[in-house]
Amino acid sequence: METADRIMMMKLLIQTVARQHGLVASFMPKPFFGLNGSGMHCHQSLWTHDDKNAFYDSNDDMLLSNVAKQFIAGQLRYSKEIVGVLAPTVNSYKRLVPGYEAPVYISWAQLNRSALIRIPRIPKDRSSSVRAELRCPDPMCNPYLALAVMLEAGLEGIRQNIEVPSPRQENLYEMESEDLISLKVDHLPTSLWEATQFIKESELVKGVFEDPLYDSYIRAKTKEWDEYRLQVTEWEKNKYLMRY
């Protein structure tokens, strides 16, 4: 709750100061074609009651404990179900495309910026800094809802003792689709409509939101998608109007 409060306060302060200077500060994920979008990468770790980082293990190559790997495995397994909360708008999926340093493929790694979850490199003596960076959320999400489903997905990985897949250190953007299939690397939904369909089937999201929020969220996202798909854009006019 405290972290979500801070996110909301930060956005409000930035937008207020911008207006005072005659500017507009926007947290739209992809405001400009051809440029990298704006993400809200979330760095996560769990802490014990005696104030120790439960993600830290000095004997692991990445300094990750078994708890950390289970947490990561849970978020990878449920990523399709929760991305509609973490990236909640039509515009969100124009950021989540290959080639613009935003995650597309459901994978994890330490040196690979195409991964959905990245493990920052940390000196061995800095146990408090070991963490997992989830890179698909964007700043238009509701942080209270987003952090809740992120946490639940990770905790489900721990509860179910889910085994984390092998990290993919290679640049997945440069690989052919056949190679990705052979490596069993899946991808995130490519549109708000697709993401909403996963939410409809998600017991995890339903359990976090409960009714009536769960049904209301699905209705709101479906309405947003319907409004979008009925629009005729300038791109369509330029592409088709004089050609056909």
Give the residue carrying structure tokens 């190559």.
61
pLDDT at residue 116, as a whole number: 94
Q: Place 180 in a pLDDT band, splitting at 50, 70 and 90.
A: low
d(CA 54, CA 229): 45
pLDDT at residue 111, as a whole number: 76
Percent of the chain with pLDDT over 90: 75
Whether residue 135 is predicted with pLDDT greater than 70 in this model: the reply is yes
Domain boundaries, given as residue ranges, for the chain:
2-231
CA-CA-CA-CA dihedral for 61, 67, 69, 70, to nearest 10 = 160
Q: 149 with 85: CB under 8 angstroms?
A: yes
CA-CA-CA-CA dihedral for 105, 97, 117, 29, to nearest 10 = -150
Task: Return the closest-CA partner of residue 214 out of 111, 58, 84, 125.
Answer: 84
pTM above 0.85, yes or no: yes
Calculate mean pLDDT across residues 186-195.
Answer: 94
pLDDT at residue 164, as a whole number: 92
pLDDT at residue 114, as a whole number: 76
Q: Which two tokens stand for residue 208?
A: 């976090």
Q: What is the mean pLDDT of the chain?
A: 92
Report the CATH fold assignment for 2-231.
Creatine Kinase; Chain A, domain 2 (3.30.590)
Q: Which two tokens stand for residue 196?
A: 């909403």
Whether residue 166 is predicted with pLDDT greater than 70 in this model: the reply is yes
pLDDT at residue 173, as a whole number: 67
Range in 2-11, 97-106, 121-130, 166-175 the model is least confident about: 166-175
DSSP class of residue 175 equals S
Calculate mean pLDDT across residues 2-10.
Answer: 95
Task: Return the closest-CA partner of residue 47 out of 136, 151, 188.
Answer: 151
